[in-house]
Amino acid sequence: MRQSQFFAPTLRQVKADNEGHALLLRGAYIRQLAAGIYSYLPLGWRVLRKIEGIVRQEMDRAGALELLMPALHPTEIWAETGRDKMDILFRLQDGRGADMVLGPTHEEIVTDIVRGGVSSYKQLPVTLYQIQGKFRDEPRPRAGLLRGREFVMKDAYSFDADIAGLDKSFDAMLEAYRAIFTRCGLDFQIVDAAGGGIGGFDTKEFMVISPSGEDVMLYCPADGYAANLELATSTLEPVFDRDDISGELEEFATPGVSTIEQLAQFEGGAAPEHQIKTLIYVADEQPVLLLLRGDHQLNEAKAASALEAATLRAATADEIFDLMGAHPGSLGAVGVAKRRIFADEALRNRAKMTTGANKNGFHIRGVDVARDLVVEKFADVREAREGEMSPRGGGALQSAKCIEIGHVFKLGNKYSQAMKAEFLDGNGKSQILEMGCYGIGVSRIMAAVAEASRDERGPIWPASLAPFEVHLLLLDKDETTKSLAENLYRELQNAGVDVLFDDRNERPGAKFADADLMGIPVRIMAGRTTKENGDFEIRTRAGQDAETVAQGEVVARVGALVQAR
């Protein structure tokens, strides 16, 4: 294909959330229409199709069946599982006034298909997948293709007769994902993760370490532990109770003290590890008290899981005062009755602690957690931190920002039970289907590769994803050079090489700069050497040095370079 048919790259700087995103914009791969909404220009569309091709090959190899489900859904089907109130749903009404949503994911839709088409254990297992545009009403779209409101996703769903079957389907998808991301040239990590709004258990995420990532993982190279910050845990150094105060409850005035740090500096106060932090949250519209050690931070994903809450938010200042009779900074759970109280595991059996007295400007010391607090449940709800010990005992945890490119869940019967998706077993008895869910951000892969494989001049695509395998640049206007380049172009095409021919009437410097922004793996230059003796210069996008190759050997040499990449 000739380069004059494509949108030209731009050398000007563009505003972007990260360097990879900027290179996709400058290289004319994508163009922004609105916040979180992008067009895929011809070069970008070719990359996307190559990613889709890899995904399809590996999904088909794993035994999954492709289908295509609608993006427009009646709201009623989401109401069957109680997910019709999710904040991320784009909502609209059709011409008759019926409520509709644009699908961010398709658990309900695929379950409806299977409950209408699978009735016997003889039809199981089955895994269905699609590659489709999705829609999520992200309140703060950012990072280009990494957090958009419209994006391309591969979502797959397995249906099995029992948990053993689900485990087998899940493992097959894990292997397919490893193959997909390896073929895409990505250096990835598999980490433990939270289920989020989809739910599930044994959840895993596939992550690419990147300073532009929107997620954080904690990991320990020594023992292989890795988890998303939302789920990560750690082993804490022991903290012993104070020996300088009485174990009896004592209320004392703390005028002007409203933070953990201020109380730590206040005469008669307490170090953060000897304080109880009291947070007021609203879980499924009911207030709850969440207690942590003063030097710890709440992990909302863990808290939602411990509370088994579909929705969780911090209470407003007015809600807190109406409930507790005091403002944040003076809150505590001593003497609080008829309220749900959850405490982090680090508070279990702690004594001689200090906490708010539920009176502005007052605190209580000498608190014994077991004696003085009515805790409904202890759970790990704190945020693990870099430097704490790995739960596997291999050493200190490290942190890294990363990009999520895939997510797999075991859903069990969460959706199938709610939607009455059943089958008859070998004894003729009705059973609930066991489900798994497996997502890949197809457009995210494009962004992740652009971010991970680049230099200051542009992206460096692996041959498996590059819009073209070879970039042929005509650098001399001499008719002999042009004729030789045209002949080589046809030879490459006849040999099955995916080649882009830049025969534009542009100066060589502009062509080199555009070629860098396109990031095509192998570059052939028809210039002075071609004019003088018919040879061509070849270099790779990642390399600096060019080699001179005789005309009759170019196709073979190019094939070897493409294969190596």
Instruction: For 129, list phi and psi in degrees, rounded to 5.
Output: -145, 160
Buried b / exposed e along 43-64 (16+ C-beta atoms within 10 A): bbebbbebbbebbbebbeebeb
- Band (pLDDT 50/70/90 cuts) for residue 226 is very high
Q: Could you tell me the two tokens for 190?
A: 């598999």
Q: Could you tell me the two tokens for 122?
A: 């003889």
What single-letter DSSP state applies at residue 389? B
Question: At 202, is the secondary structure helix, strand, or coil?
Answer: strand
How do residues 452-476 score in pLDDT, each as one tens digit?
999 888 899 998 999 999 999 999 8
Instruction: For 516, list phi and psi in degrees, rounded to 5.
Output: -60, -40
pLDDT at res. 562: 82
Q: How many CB atoms lie within 10 A of CB 510?
A: 14
Q: Is the pLDDT of residue 5 over 90?
A: no
d(CA 269, CA 521): 64
- Band (pLDDT 50/70/90 cuts) for residue 310 is confident
Closest CA to 415 of 440, 438, 430, 434: 434
Residue 181 and residue 405 in contact, taking contact as beta carbons nearer than 8 Å: yes
Alpha helices of 184-279 — where are they, by DSSP H? Answer: 260-265
Average pLDDT, the chain: 93
Q: Could you tell me the two tokens for 285?
A: 């519209």
pLDDT at res. 195: 66
- Band (pLDDT 50/70/90 cuts) for residue 441 is very high
Residue with more model confidence, 194 or 145 = 145
Per cent of the chain over pLDDT 90 is 82
